Homo-oligomer: A and B are copies of this chain.
Amino acid sequence: VTDVGSVKAPLAETLPGLLPPRVAYVGSHPMAGSHERGAEHARPDLFVGAVCIVAETVGAPPGAVERVEGFWRSLGARTVRRDPAAHDREVAWMSHVPHAVAFAFARALGEAPEGARELAGPGFRDFTRIARSDPELWAEILIANGKAVAGPIARVAERLAELARTLEAGDADTAVRLLGEARASLDRADDISPDPGAKTRKSGRKAREETENNA
């Protein structure tokens, strides 16, 4: 048995006791998809090049883990193994906290001057895209992983306060250092996990033009 939920530890604790003998539970979590829901947004290549985390439940036979990995690889995904608690901690940083922060920003935007919304550009749209996700689904995910999410949210709040103080003081040297550290942290993520869709996603139009020229 596998699943594609965003939080693993609670399931890994309860599910094995509920399964019939000789049926193993191994969680999966493909890092793919968008804020869109429904079959009309399906894509045959959704998992090609995507990372899929396979959660090794304690006591699951190695054969079951390999079978689940094989399934995701057959769809083109790159699998990585994590124990369920590590999955929840790491996904908090890479998915849940970004969603929480994007939702918090979008809600604050309710207080912006009405005319501001007319000025949305591509940076705004990319930054807020994940806050267009389904509110009920995401409330559930964020609460289910509340323990792992709380610490990182507090860290982001501290970093934001630090940046705000620096800007208020007009301290350009410190501001450059803080933003430089932020960027270095992302560069490290790129080194470890290069974006499989970089070419098409970064410049959809350009990619299309190139295709047109080649066609």
Q: Is the CB of B176 within 8 A of A136?
A: yes
Pick from B33, B103, B112, B146: contact of A168, CB below 8 A.
B146
Q: Is the CB of A98 within 8 A of B112?
A: no
Given A172-B140, A193-B117, the answer on whether A108 and B152 have CB atoms closer than 8 Å is: yes
Pick from B100, B117, B193, B212: contact of A120, CB below 8 A.
B193
Q: Is the CB of B204 within 8 A of A200?
A: yes
Question: Which single residue of chain B is at the shortest CB-CB distance from A187?
Answer: B132
Copy total for this chain: 2
The residues of B that contact A71 with a CB separation of less than 8 Å are none
Say how far A96's CB is from chain B's closest CB, in angstroms: 10
Given A112-B90, A140-B172, the answer on whether A103 and B178 have CB atoms closer than 8 Å is: yes
Q: Is the CB of B105 within 8 A of A101?
A: yes
A211 within 8 A of B: yes
Cβ contacts A94-112/B at 8 Å (1 or 0 each): 1101111111111111111
In the complex, how many residues of chain A place their beta carbon closer than 8 angstroms to a beta carbon of chain B? 115
Interface residues of A in 162-214 (CB under 8 A from B): 162-164, 167-168, 170-172, 175-176, 178-190, 192-193, 195, 197, 199-208, 211-212
Cβ contacts A121-147/B at 8 Å (1 or 0 each): 111111111111101101110110010
Pick from B32, B104, B195, B205: contact of A200, CB below 8 A.
B205
The residues of B that contact A155 with a CB separation of less than 8 Å are 108, 111
- For the A-B complex with A107-B179, A143-B170 known, give 6 more contacts whose Cβ atoms are closer than 8 Å: A43-B203, A90-B112, A95-B119, A106-B183, A117-B192, A138-B179
A interface with B by C-beta (< 8 Å): 31-35, 43, 45, 50-51, 53, 80, 82, 86, 89-91, 93-95, 97-113, 115-133, 135-136, 138-140, 142-143, 146, 149-150, 152-164, 167-168, 170-172, 175-176, 178-190, 192-193, 195, 197, 199-208, 211-212, 215
